[in-house]
Amino acid sequence: MEYDLNTLILSATDSDIEKAAAIIRDGGLVAFPTETVYGLGADAFNEEAVKKIYEAKGRPQDNPTIVHICDISELEKLTDDITDDIKKMAEAFWPGPMTMVMWKKRSIPMATTGGLNTVGVRLPSEEIARELIRKAGSPIAAPSANISGAPSPTKAEHVIKDMNGRIDAVICGTACKHGIESTVIDMTADPPVILRPGVVTAEMAGLTLGKEVRIDPAVNQKIDGEFIPKAPGMKYKHYAPEAEVTVFMGAKPKVRKTMDEAASLLQSKGKSVAVIEFHDAETAARELFDKLRKADDEGMEYVYIAAIPEEGIGLAVMNRMLKAAGYNIVTC
Protein backbone atom coordinates (compact mmCIF):
# COMPACT_ATOMS: atom_id res chain seq x y z
CA MET A 1 0.00 0.00 0.00
CA GLU A 2 1.37 3.39 -1.01
CA TYR A 3 0.59 6.44 1.09
CA ASP A 4 0.96 9.80 -0.60
CA LEU A 5 -1.50 11.81 1.44
CA ASN A 6 -0.37 15.11 2.82
CA THR A 7 -1.51 15.13 6.43
CA LEU A 8 -2.78 18.56 7.47
CA ILE A 9 -1.58 19.58 10.92
CA LEU A 10 -4.40 21.52 12.55
CA SER A 11 -4.79 23.33 15.86
CA ALA A 12 -7.85 23.36 18.08
CA THR A 13 -9.17 26.72 16.85
CA ASP A 14 -12.75 27.05 15.70
CA SER A 15 -11.75 27.48 12.05
CA ASP A 16 -9.36 24.50 12.11
CA ILE A 17 -12.01 22.27 13.71
CA GLU A 18 -14.38 23.39 10.94
CA LYS A 19 -11.75 22.36 8.34
CA ALA A 20 -11.45 18.98 10.05
CA ALA A 21 -15.24 18.58 10.11
CA ALA A 22 -15.40 19.30 6.37
CA ILE A 23 -12.85 16.51 5.80
CA ILE A 24 -15.02 14.10 7.81
CA ARG A 25 -18.13 15.15 5.85
CA ASP A 26 -16.20 14.47 2.61
CA GLY A 27 -15.36 10.94 3.72
CA GLY A 28 -11.81 11.64 4.95
CA LEU A 29 -9.89 10.67 8.08
CA VAL A 30 -9.06 13.04 10.95
CA ALA A 31 -7.20 12.25 14.18
CA PHE A 32 -8.35 14.22 17.22
CA PRO A 33 -7.71 14.40 20.97
CA THR A 34 -10.05 12.89 23.55
CA GLU A 35 -9.68 12.70 27.34
CA THR A 36 -8.49 9.09 27.04
CA VAL A 37 -6.27 8.76 23.94
CA TYR A 38 -6.23 10.32 20.46
CA GLY A 39 -8.83 8.84 18.11
CA LEU A 40 -8.71 8.31 14.35
CA GLY A 41 -12.10 9.41 13.09
CA ALA A 42 -14.36 8.95 10.08
CA ASP A 43 -18.10 9.47 9.54
CA ALA A 44 -19.59 6.41 11.27
CA PHE A 45 -22.32 6.13 8.61
CA ASN A 46 -19.93 6.30 5.63
CA GLU A 47 -18.80 2.73 4.98
CA GLU A 48 -16.04 3.66 2.51
CA ALA A 49 -14.62 6.23 4.93
CA VAL A 50 -14.62 3.73 7.81
CA LYS A 51 -12.82 1.16 5.65
CA LYS A 52 -10.02 3.70 5.21
CA ILE A 53 -9.49 3.72 9.00
CA TYR A 54 -8.71 0.00 8.93
CA GLU A 55 -6.32 0.51 6.02
CA ALA A 56 -4.48 3.43 7.64
CA LYS A 57 -4.04 1.56 10.94
CA GLY A 58 -3.39 -1.88 9.47
CA ARG A 59 -6.27 -2.98 11.70
CA PRO A 60 -7.92 -6.42 11.43
CA GLN A 61 -11.37 -6.08 9.78
CA ASP A 62 -13.23 -7.84 12.61
CA ASN A 63 -12.17 -5.36 15.29
CA PRO A 64 -15.10 -2.95 15.76
CA THR A 65 -14.64 0.81 16.13
CA ILE A 66 -16.17 2.91 18.89
CA VAL A 67 -18.77 5.41 17.68
CA HIS A 68 -18.43 8.85 19.31
CA ILE A 69 -21.37 11.19 19.82
CA CYS A 70 -21.49 14.84 20.95
CA ASP A 71 -24.76 14.72 22.85
CA ILE A 72 -26.87 12.07 24.54
CA SER A 73 -29.74 12.83 22.12
CA GLU A 74 -27.62 11.28 19.31
CA LEU A 75 -27.94 7.84 20.90
CA GLU A 76 -31.23 7.39 19.03
CA LYS A 77 -29.33 7.44 15.72
CA LEU A 78 -27.39 4.35 16.80
CA THR A 79 -29.76 2.07 18.73
CA ASP A 80 -33.48 1.36 19.16
CA ASP A 81 -32.87 -0.25 22.50
CA ILE A 82 -32.06 2.39 25.15
CA THR A 83 -32.58 0.42 28.35
CA ASP A 84 -32.94 1.86 31.86
CA ASP A 85 -29.46 0.58 32.67
CA ILE A 86 -28.02 2.41 29.64
CA LYS A 87 -29.75 5.60 30.81
CA LYS A 88 -28.35 5.20 34.35
CA MET A 89 -24.81 4.60 33.08
CA ALA A 90 -25.01 7.54 30.66
CA GLU A 91 -26.21 9.84 33.41
CA ALA A 92 -23.44 8.74 35.78
CA PHE A 93 -20.43 8.58 33.43
CA TRP A 94 -21.11 10.62 30.27
CA PRO A 95 -19.53 12.73 29.02
CA GLY A 96 -16.48 10.68 29.97
CA PRO A 97 -14.17 7.68 29.53
CA MET A 98 -16.82 4.97 29.16
CA THR A 99 -18.03 3.05 26.08
CA MET A 100 -21.31 1.13 26.17
CA VAL A 101 -21.88 -1.81 23.83
CA MET A 102 -25.56 -1.96 22.77
CA TRP A 103 -27.73 -3.44 19.98
CA LYS A 104 -27.06 -1.53 16.79
CA LYS A 105 -29.47 0.04 14.31
CA ARG A 106 -29.34 -1.58 10.88
CA SER A 107 -28.40 1.75 9.33
CA ILE A 108 -24.92 1.61 10.92
CA PRO A 109 -22.58 0.02 8.34
CA MET A 110 -21.19 -3.40 9.27
CA ALA A 111 -17.67 -2.04 8.57
CA THR A 112 -18.14 0.30 11.55
CA THR A 113 -18.96 -2.54 13.96
CA GLY A 114 -16.55 -5.11 12.56
CA GLY A 115 -19.49 -7.24 11.36
CA LEU A 116 -21.18 -7.34 14.80
CA ASN A 117 -24.87 -6.62 15.51
CA THR A 118 -23.81 -4.44 18.42
CA VAL A 119 -22.19 -1.01 18.53
CA GLY A 120 -19.87 0.54 21.10
CA VAL A 121 -20.86 4.15 21.84
CA ARG A 122 -19.01 6.87 23.71
CA LEU A 123 -19.76 10.50 24.56
CA PRO A 124 -16.31 11.98 25.25
CA SER A 125 -15.76 14.84 27.68
CA GLU A 126 -12.99 16.47 25.60
CA GLU A 127 -14.58 19.57 24.13
CA ILE A 128 -12.44 19.47 20.93
CA ALA A 129 -13.78 16.00 20.15
CA ARG A 130 -17.38 17.01 20.81
CA GLU A 131 -17.03 20.17 18.70
CA LEU A 132 -15.62 18.13 15.81
CA ILE A 133 -18.57 15.70 15.96
CA ARG A 134 -21.03 18.60 16.24
CA LYS A 135 -19.56 20.40 13.23
CA ALA A 136 -19.30 17.18 11.19
CA GLY A 137 -23.03 16.63 11.77
CA SER A 138 -22.65 12.89 12.26
CA PRO A 139 -21.38 10.45 14.90
CA ILE A 140 -17.69 9.65 14.36
CA ALA A 141 -16.26 6.13 14.34
CA ALA A 142 -12.81 6.23 15.94
CA PRO A 143 -10.38 3.65 17.18
CA SER A 144 -7.17 4.85 18.82
CA ALA A 145 -4.99 6.74 16.32
CA ASN A 146 -1.98 4.39 16.38
CA ILE A 147 -0.66 1.79 13.98
CA SER A 148 -2.44 -1.43 14.98
CA GLY A 149 -0.56 -3.18 17.79
CA ALA A 150 1.47 -0.12 18.89
CA PRO A 151 0.97 1.80 22.14
CA SER A 152 -2.04 4.14 21.95
CA PRO A 153 -1.25 7.82 21.25
CA THR A 154 -1.60 10.17 24.20
CA LYS A 155 0.09 13.17 22.53
CA ALA A 156 -0.28 14.74 19.07
CA GLU A 157 3.36 13.90 18.30
CA HIS A 158 2.57 10.16 18.75
CA VAL A 159 -0.21 10.44 16.18
CA ILE A 160 1.99 12.30 13.71
CA LYS A 161 4.75 9.70 14.09
CA ASP A 162 2.37 6.79 13.33
CA MET A 163 -0.08 8.38 10.90
CA ASN A 164 1.70 11.11 8.94
CA GLY A 165 0.96 10.56 5.25
CA ARG A 166 -1.73 7.97 6.00
CA ILE A 167 -4.57 10.26 7.06
CA ASP A 168 -5.98 13.60 5.93
CA ALA A 169 -5.51 15.65 9.09
CA VAL A 170 -4.69 15.68 12.78
CA ILE A 171 -6.04 18.16 15.33
CA CYS A 172 -3.26 18.83 17.83
CA GLY A 173 -4.46 19.26 21.39
CA THR A 174 -2.66 18.84 24.69
CA ALA A 175 -1.62 15.50 26.21
CA CYS A 176 -4.64 13.33 27.04
CA LYS A 177 -5.98 13.72 30.58
CA HIS A 178 -6.40 10.03 31.44
CA GLY A 179 -3.92 8.39 29.03
CA ILE A 180 -5.60 4.99 28.76
CA GLU A 181 -8.60 4.03 26.67
CA SER A 182 -12.20 4.07 27.87
CA THR A 183 -13.84 1.34 29.91
CA VAL A 184 -15.84 -0.88 27.52
CA ILE A 185 -18.99 -2.32 29.12
CA ASP A 186 -21.35 -4.75 27.40
CA MET A 187 -24.89 -3.51 28.11
CA THR A 188 -26.48 -6.33 26.04
CA ALA A 189 -25.70 -8.66 28.97
CA ASP A 190 -27.65 -8.49 32.22
CA PRO A 191 -25.93 -7.77 34.48
CA PRO A 192 -23.58 -5.86 32.18
CA VAL A 193 -19.98 -7.09 31.84
CA ILE A 194 -16.76 -5.06 31.57
CA LEU A 195 -14.94 -6.07 28.36
CA ARG A 196 -12.04 -3.64 28.77
CA PRO A 197 -11.16 -2.03 32.11
CA GLY A 198 -10.62 1.73 32.31
CA VAL A 199 -11.06 4.74 34.54
CA VAL A 200 -14.71 3.79 35.18
CA THR A 201 -14.31 0.64 37.29
CA ALA A 202 -16.60 -2.38 37.78
CA GLU A 203 -17.26 -1.17 41.34
CA MET A 204 -18.37 2.26 40.08
CA ALA A 205 -20.67 0.68 37.46
CA GLY A 206 -22.05 -1.77 40.05
CA LEU A 207 -22.90 1.04 42.48
CA THR A 208 -24.66 2.98 39.71
CA LEU A 209 -26.72 0.01 38.53
CA GLY A 210 -27.38 -1.56 41.91
CA LYS A 211 -26.15 -4.95 40.69
CA GLU A 212 -22.87 -6.75 40.57
CA VAL A 213 -20.87 -5.90 37.45
CA ARG A 214 -18.27 -8.52 36.59
CA ILE A 215 -15.14 -8.24 34.51
CA ASP A 216 -14.87 -10.50 31.46
CA PRO A 217 -12.50 -13.40 32.27
CA ALA A 218 -10.43 -12.55 29.17
CA VAL A 219 -9.21 -9.37 30.91
CA ASN A 220 -5.70 -9.67 32.39
CA GLN A 221 -5.36 -13.24 31.27
CA LYS A 222 -3.22 -14.55 28.46
CA ILE A 223 -5.47 -15.49 25.55
CA ASP A 224 -4.68 -18.73 23.76
CA GLY A 225 -5.84 -19.86 20.32
CA GLU A 226 -9.01 -21.54 21.62
CA PHE A 227 -10.48 -18.62 23.50
CA ILE A 228 -12.86 -16.22 21.71
CA PRO A 229 -13.16 -12.96 23.66
CA LYS A 230 -16.31 -10.80 23.32
CA ALA A 231 -14.32 -7.64 22.57
CA PRO A 232 -12.51 -8.69 19.39
CA GLY A 233 -9.73 -6.19 20.12
CA MET A 234 -8.61 -8.30 23.09
CA LYS A 235 -7.24 -11.12 21.00
CA TYR A 236 -4.64 -9.11 19.12
CA LYS A 237 -1.12 -8.11 20.10
CA HIS A 238 -1.51 -4.69 21.62
CA TYR A 239 0.18 -1.65 23.08
CA ALA A 240 3.63 -3.11 22.34
CA PRO A 241 6.71 -1.01 21.56
CA GLU A 242 9.60 -2.39 19.47
CA ALA A 243 11.61 -2.93 22.67
CA GLU A 244 11.11 -6.19 24.54
CA VAL A 245 9.07 -5.45 27.67
CA THR A 246 9.28 -7.35 30.97
CA VAL A 247 6.97 -6.68 33.94
CA PHE A 248 8.40 -7.18 37.44
CA MET A 249 5.85 -8.15 40.10
CA GLY A 250 6.18 -8.36 43.87
CA ALA A 251 6.90 -6.25 46.93
CA LYS A 252 8.25 -2.80 45.99
CA PRO A 253 11.81 -2.93 47.48
CA LYS A 254 12.37 -6.41 46.08
CA VAL A 255 11.09 -5.40 42.64
CA ARG A 256 13.38 -2.36 42.58
CA LYS A 257 16.43 -4.43 43.60
CA THR A 258 15.69 -7.19 41.08
CA MET A 259 15.04 -4.73 38.23
CA ASP A 260 18.24 -2.79 38.95
CA GLU A 261 20.35 -5.94 39.11
CA ALA A 262 18.84 -7.35 35.93
CA ALA A 263 19.31 -3.99 34.16
CA SER A 264 22.98 -3.79 35.25
CA LEU A 265 23.55 -7.29 33.94
CA LEU A 266 22.09 -6.37 30.54
CA GLN A 267 24.11 -3.16 30.41
CA SER A 268 27.31 -5.06 31.23
CA LYS A 269 26.62 -7.07 28.08
CA GLY A 270 26.32 -3.85 26.06
CA LYS A 271 22.52 -3.92 25.86
CA SER A 272 20.30 -0.86 26.36
CA VAL A 273 17.42 -0.95 28.82
CA ALA A 274 14.85 1.56 30.10
CA VAL A 275 13.75 1.01 33.71
CA ILE A 276 10.27 2.37 34.49
CA GLU A 277 8.56 2.72 37.85
CA PHE A 278 5.36 4.60 38.72
CA HIS A 279 4.31 5.95 42.09
CA ASP A 280 0.55 6.04 41.64
CA ALA A 281 -2.03 4.55 39.29
CA GLU A 282 -3.24 7.85 37.77
CA THR A 283 0.29 8.84 36.76
CA ALA A 284 0.92 5.34 35.43
CA ALA A 285 -2.21 5.59 33.26
CA ARG A 286 -1.26 9.01 31.96
CA GLU A 287 2.38 8.18 31.21
CA LEU A 288 2.60 4.46 30.38
CA PHE A 289 2.15 4.69 26.59
CA ASP A 290 4.35 7.79 26.35
CA LYS A 291 7.17 6.06 28.25
CA LEU A 292 6.94 2.95 26.07
CA ARG A 293 7.12 5.09 22.93
CA LYS A 294 10.02 7.10 24.39
CA ALA A 295 11.99 3.89 24.96
CA ASP A 296 11.67 3.15 21.23
CA ASP A 297 12.62 6.72 20.25
CA GLU A 298 15.76 6.36 22.36
CA GLY A 299 16.57 3.05 20.65
CA MET A 300 16.22 0.95 23.83
CA GLU A 301 16.28 -2.79 23.22
CA TYR A 302 14.59 -3.69 26.52
CA VAL A 303 12.07 -2.13 28.90
CA TYR A 304 11.88 -3.26 32.54
CA ILE A 305 8.78 -2.01 34.27
CA ALA A 306 7.44 -2.39 37.81
CA ALA A 307 3.85 -3.65 38.19
CA ILE A 308 1.38 -1.56 40.19
CA PRO A 309 -1.41 -2.89 42.45
CA GLU A 310 -4.43 -4.09 40.44
CA GLU A 311 -6.84 -1.89 42.38
CA GLY A 312 -9.18 0.76 40.98
CA ILE A 313 -7.69 2.20 37.80
CA GLY A 314 -4.57 0.06 38.49
CA LEU A 315 -6.41 -2.91 36.99
CA ALA A 316 -6.75 -1.07 33.68
CA VAL A 317 -3.10 0.00 33.74
CA MET A 318 -1.96 -3.59 34.41
CA ASN A 319 -4.18 -4.82 31.56
CA ARG A 320 -2.27 -2.55 29.14
CA MET A 321 1.14 -3.19 30.73
CA LEU A 322 0.82 -6.99 30.60
CA LYS A 323 -0.33 -6.92 26.99
CA ALA A 324 2.56 -4.61 26.07
CA ALA A 325 4.87 -7.19 27.65
CA GLY A 326 3.18 -10.13 25.92
CA TYR A 327 2.74 -11.53 29.49
CA ASN A 328 6.49 -11.61 29.97
CA ILE A 329 6.55 -11.49 33.81
CA VAL A 330 9.26 -11.84 36.42
CA THR A 331 7.90 -12.59 39.90
CA CYS A 332 10.21 -11.20 42.59
- Residues forming contacts to ligand TXA in the complex (CB under 6 A) are 34, 36-37, 39, 63-66, 99, 101, 113, 116, 118-120, 122, 142-144, 181-182, 184, 195-196, 230-234
CB 315, min distance to ligand TXA, A: 16
Name which of ligand TXA, Mg ion, none residue 134 binds, using a CB cut-off of 5 to 8 Å depending on partner kind: none
Name which of ligand TXA, Mg ion, none residue 39 binds, using a CB cut-off of 5 to 8 Å depending on partner kind: ligand TXA
Query: DSSP assignment of 284-327, as one string?
Result: HHHHHHHHHHHHHHTT-SEEEEE----STTHHHHHHHHHHHTTT
- Residue whose CB is less far from ligand TXA, 207 or 228: 228
CB 269, min distance to Mg ion, A: 34
Q: What is d(CA 45, CA 67) in angstroms, rounded to the nearest whole number? A: 10
- Residue 285: which of 261, 264, 315 has the closest Cα? 315
CB 161, min distance to ligand TXA, A: 17
CB 238, min distance to Mg ion, A: 7
CB 113, min distance to ligand TXA, A: 5
> Which is it for strands 183-186 and 214-215: parallel, antiparallel or unpaired?
unpaired
Residue 91: other Cβ atoms inside 10 A: 10
- Is the dihedral angle over the CA atoms 305, 313, 217, 144 positive or is it negative? negative
CB 198, min distance to ligand TXA, A: 7
**Interacting span for Mg ion (CB under 5 A) from 41-49, 140-148, 213-221, 246-254:** 140-148
By beta-carbon distance, which residue lies closest to Mg ion? 144
> Cα-flanking dihedrals φ and ψ of residue 142, to 5°?
-155, 110
Here's the x/- map for Mg ion, 293-312, by CB under 5 A: it reads as --------------------
**Interacting span for Mg ion (CB under 5 A) from 84-92, 112-120, 144-152, 172-180:** 144-152
- Residue 51: which of 123, 1, 124, 125 has the closest Cα? 1
> Cα-flanking dihedrals φ and ψ of residue 272, to 5°?
-105, 140
By beta-carbon distance, which residue lies closest to ligand TXA? 233
| 183 counts as binding Mg ion under rule CB under 5 A | no
Q: Which of 34, 63, 79, 144 binds Mg ion (CB under 5 A)?
A: 144
Residue 309: other Cβ atoms inside 10 A: 11
3-state class of 329 per DSSP? strand
Task: Give the footprint of Mg ion on this chain (CB under 5 A).
Answer: 144
